[in-house]
């Protein structure tokens, strides 16, 4: 038995409209992909491969974070190197000035230079970069050398002088001090050296930590990326400058003057060698940071290429989809308008 079905005008009108929302959604997706260059729905496009995409992006973010932290480390190292170079330059200049003078004429030069060099040393140890004190060790938030420490250092040396010899630096009684007495006073086991021991320095002078910062510069490498104001070369320089400026050299006998200035020269030479070692160590770290950055750039490039392969869309293909969908939507609107004009009344004569 044959049956017939009836299709109303309403059905014709709704047929184009039923697919319109889908096409509009597809058009919005295609436009978004053109704008971003990436697939709009990675989960839908990649399926189980979306996990790989997320893993690659996580690795890329980690590399970007390492590059940022390497920039901070590089700035810290550069600032440290500049400060070390200035500190060494001052020490070498004082040493050269003293060596160029007869032993009897060194006292005045040492006294005049010692105070300014001590001030410059302690100021240099308070160098900072990016809001961090580069010679603070792991304590980067506090200045390594608080205000007024230069005067305190000189006062401590003068007090040790008074306690040892029973007379104040620069006094008439200081002329009676012999060379052997001065050598013992300034020796490594004497009262002045005790003031500049690691323990005394950290108690009376420095707020820095003796532990240096460690920076992770690549996915598999970490390096020491700072210096500490507690290092022996800095303590040795401070001792040399304090001896030169706080013991009243000009009032001493010629023998005691020679003993003191020879001790100053010895301390300057030892400290200068230590500064060279520190600069070399930091220089090697700088080279490692530079090499690590080059490797990170290569890794970032590879990861970026793989991410693009998985996530990127072909702009030409997306544009073709936009054009096709736009045409279909326009046709749908036109067809709907024509169907709305259909009426049996138009065919009744």
Strand partners, 216: 222
Asked if residue 44 has pLDDT above 80, the reply is: no
Q: What is the pLDDT of residue 54?
A: 72
Domain ranges within the chain, ordered by starting residue:
57-303
Q: What is the pLDDT of residue 27?
A: 61
* CA atoms of 238 and 90, how far apart (whole Å): 12
Asked if residue 192 has pLDDT above 80, the reply is: yes
Range in 14-23, 54-63, 299-308 the model is least confident about: 14-23
Average pLDDT over residues 33-41: 61
CA end-to-end distance (rounded Å), the chain: 34
Range in 48-52, 186-190, 327-331 the model is least confident about: 48-52
> Tell me: the pLDDT tens digits for 69-109?
999 999 999 999 999 999 999 999 999 999 999 888 899 89
Asked if residue 309 has pLDDT above 80, the reply is: no
* CA distances for 328 relative to 20, 317, 321, 322, 333, angstroms: 9, 16, 10, 10, 9
> Tell me: the pLDDT tens digits for 240-258?
999 999 999 999 999 999 9
Q: Which residues, 6 or more positions from 220, have their beta carbon under 8 angstroms from its beta carbon?
A: none
Q: What is the pLDDT of residue 43?
A: 53
Q: Are strands 214-216 and 222-224 parallel, antiparallel or unpaired?
A: antiparallel
Q: What percentage of residues in the chain have a pLDDT greater than 90?
A: 62
Angle at alpha carbon of residue 77, lines to 74 and 83, rounded to 5°: 140
Asked if residue 294 has pLDDT above 60, the reply is: yes
Task: Quickly list DSSP for 122-133.
Answer: HHHTT-EETTEE
* CA atoms of 118 and 268, how far apart (whole Å): 12
Asked if residue 198 has pLDDT above 90, the reply is: yes
* CA atoms of 325 and 306, how far apart (whole Å): 30
Task: Quickly list DSSP for 82-128.
Answer: HHHHHHHHHHHHHHHHHHTS-GGGHHHHHHHHHHHHHHHHHHHTT-E
Q: What is the pLDDT of residue 35?
A: 61
Q: Which helix (H) or strand (E) holds 216?
A: strand 214-216
Q: Are strands 214-216 and 128-129 parallel, antiparallel or unpaired?
A: unpaired
Q: What is the pLDDT of residue 67?
A: 93
Range in 33-37, 130-134, 135-139, 271-275 the model is least confident about: 33-37
Mean pLDDT of the chain: 85
Asked if residue 280 has pLDDT above 60, the reply is: yes
Contact by Cβ (8 Å): 121, 90: yes
In residues, how long is the chain? 349
3-state secondary structure 167-210: CCCCCHHHHHCCHHHHHHHHCCCCHHHHHCCHHHHHHHCCCCCC
> Tell me: the pLDDT tens digits for 49-77?
566 667 777 888 899 999 999 999 999 99
**Confidence label for 151 from pLDDT (cuts 50, 70 and 90):** very high
Asked if residue 317 has pLDDT above 70, the reply is: no
The pTM for the full model equals 0.77
CATH class of this structure's domain 57-303: mainly alpha
**Confidence label for 129 from pLDDT (cuts 50, 70 and 90):** very high
Range in 50-54, 277-281, 287-291, 336-340 the model is least confident about: 336-340
* CA atoms of 203 and 206, how far apart (whole Å): 7
* CA atoms of 174 and 105, how far apart (whole Å): 18
């Amino acid at each position: 038995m044959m049956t017939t079905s009836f299709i109303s005008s309403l059905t014709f009108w709704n047929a184009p409209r039923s697919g319109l929302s889908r096409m509009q959604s597809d058009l919005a997706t295609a436009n978004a992909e053109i704008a971003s260059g990436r697939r709009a729905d990675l989960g839908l496009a990649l399926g189980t491969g979306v996990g790989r995409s997320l893993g690659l992006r996580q690795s890329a973010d980690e590399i970007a974070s390492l590059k940022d932290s390497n920039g901070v480390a590089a700035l810290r190292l550069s600032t440290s190197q500049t400060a070390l170079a200035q500190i060494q330059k001052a020490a070498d200049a004082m040493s050269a000035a003293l060596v160029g003078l007869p032993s009897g004429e060194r006292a005045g030069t040492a006294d005049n230079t010692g105070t300014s060099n001590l001030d410059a040393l302690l100021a240099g140890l308070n160098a900072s970069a990016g809001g961090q004190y580069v010679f603070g060790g792991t304590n980067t938030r506090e200045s390594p050398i608080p205000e007024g420490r230069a005067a305190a250092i000189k006062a401590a040396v003068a007090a040790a002088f008074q306690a040892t010899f029973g007379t104040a630096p620069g006094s008439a009684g200081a002329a009676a001090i012999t060379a052997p007495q001065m050598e013992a006073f300034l020796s490594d086991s004497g009262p002045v050296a005790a003031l500049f021991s690691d323990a005394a320095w950290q108690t009376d002078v420095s707020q820095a930590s003796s532990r240096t910062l460690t920076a992770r510069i690549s996915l598999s490498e970490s390096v020491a990326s700072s210096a500490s104001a507690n290092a022996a070369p800095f303590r040795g320089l401070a001792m040399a400058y304090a001896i030169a400026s706080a013991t009243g050299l000009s009032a001493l006998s010629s023998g005691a003057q020679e003993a003191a200035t020879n001790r100053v020269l010895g301390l300057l030479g030892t400290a200068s060698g230590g500064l060279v070692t520190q600069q070399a160590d930091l220089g090697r770290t700088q080279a490692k940071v530079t090499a690590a950055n080059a490797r990170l750039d290569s890794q970032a490039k590879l990861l970026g290429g793989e991410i693009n392969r998985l996530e990127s869309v072909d702009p030409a293909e997306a544009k073709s989809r936009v054009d096709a969908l736009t045409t279909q939507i326009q046709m749908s609107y036109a067809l709907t308008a024509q169907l709305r004009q259909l009426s049996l009344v138009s065919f009744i004569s």
